[in-house]
Amino acid sequence: MILQKDYFAPESRFLCDVCSEPVTNPICPSCLTIEIQAWLTLYPDLKKEIMPKLRAYLRNLDNLATESTTCIKCGHKKTSVCPYCFTEFVLRELRKINSNKVVLMEFLRFFDFDGKGHSKEIEEMEA
């Protein structure tokens, strides 16, 4: 059981640097990149093409991030971008390099864990 020590203390809410919504699923882009990299082992050519772009995005985030919430996976205060916005960036990059429909569908299914809109894209692709 979790007990709150000071019931009148304001609760900290961190907003995503991209969409300005509260980060309700605090998994940092670095941890998500590790998971995406593991998924990309199925697609070595795609991995070679997209990983440099993800690394550049992460470097940029590290340089620009101000305040952020703690990642529930690694414990670092690096969750300045919500998982939805980060996976949206990855999805755009996958589309830029003309990834096929199977890869896009698989990505959306594996990395749509906060239900903010990828499910609609999946339905559109299946139609």
pLDDT-derived band at 1 (thresholds 50, 70, 90) equals very low
Q: What's the whole-number average pLDDT of the chain?
A: 82
The DSSP secondary-structure symbol of 40 reads G
Kindly list the domain boundaries of the chain, sorted by start residue.
29-126
Count of CB atoms situated within 10 Å of the CB of 55: 12
pLDDT-derived band at 23 (thresholds 50, 70, 90) equals confident
pLDDT at 35: 96
pLDDT at 4: 46
Distance CA 43, CA 18 (A): 28
Burial class (CB in 10 A: 0-12, 13-18, 19+), 124: exposed
Mean pLDDT, residues 109-126: 65
pLDDT-derived band at 2 (thresholds 50, 70, 90) equals very low
